[in-house]
Amino acid sequence: MLIRPFGFNEFWIIVMAAQWTIALSAIAFAGGGVGGLLIALARVSDAKWPRLLATGFIRVFQGTPLLMQLFLVFFGMNILGFAINPWIAAAVALTLHASAFLGEIWRGCIEAVPSGQREAATALGLRYFNRMRYIILPQASRIAVAPTVGFLVQLIKGTSLAAIIGFTELTRQGQIINNATFSPFMVFGTVAAVYFILCWPLSLLARRMEVKFSRSTTR
């Protein structure tokens, strides 16, 4: 195979591959948002079984490598009778992963809402759904914003592992270009720079909101 130089074209192909990283992150974040809310609610529930199941789910996903989770979904899809598809496998695995992590983060936020709020809502005759919808979750969500953005950074970085199961996002595109140009220093430098441009503003935003929040809550 001919080795071609690393030029603007190669650079641009790598930059454009970021769209798949963003798409995968967005899907996992949206899916994980729904899943995470369910996990968090189950985790703080008064019923024993949902609480235990949610705890187990979180333990397993936080106690095993994301790479293994990807492999298991990837090969597990085949067992369940689906054709192997890196796109779907990556989206499903990252969604489950994000559900567990967001579930644990949001559980902490829900529990951080003073218990008097809940008691007052109950005393006013609000049932579970309205109590959560109007009293607990709006207050918890304010606490949750900064750590959630922080987790989004972790999730974007996590999508790079989809490259290992063959989904062509930013990192995999870098590997492909590297195989053709053999200038790994430039290629992986570029790939790292694109991730940095995606993640750094979010990291700064998360830190800023954290500071702002802690200032607004200290009396």
Q: Which residues bind another protein (CB under 8 A)?
A: 60, 63-69, 71-72, 75-76, 78-79, 81-83, 85, 87-88, 153, 157-158, 160-161, 163-164, 171, 174-175, 178, 183-185, 187-189, 191-192, 195-196, 199-200, 203
Query: Given the complex with another protein, which of 45 and 87 has the nearer CB atom?
Result: 87
Q: How many CB atoms lie within 10 A of CB 79?
A: 8
Query: Given the complex with another protein, which of 66 and 98 has the nearer CB atom?
Result: 66
| Single-letter residue type at 134 | Y
Burial of 215 (0-12, 13-18, 19+ CB in 10 A): exposed
* Cα(160)–Cα(66) distance, integer angstroms: 11
**Minimal distance in Å, beta carbon 99 to another protein?**
17
Query: Given the complex with another protein, which of 45 and 203 has the nearer CB atom?
Result: 203
**Minimal distance in Å, beta carbon 53 to another protein?**
16
**Minimal distance in Å, beta carbon 210 to another protein?**
12
The span from the first CA to the last CA of the chain, in angstroms, equals 67
Residue pair 16/172 in contact by the 8 Å Cβ criterion: no
**Minimal distance in Å, beta carbon 134 to another protein?**
34
* Cα(158)–Cα(202) distance, integer angstroms: 15
Query: Given the complex with another protein, which of 122 and 154 has the nearer CB atom?
Result: 154
Number of alpha helices (DSSP H) and beta strands (DSSP E) in the chain: 9, 0
**Minimal distance in Å, beta carbon 162 to another protein?**
10
Query: Given the complex with another protein, which of 16 and 120 has the nearer CB atom?
Result: 16
Residue pair 139/115 in contact by the 8 Å Cβ criterion: no
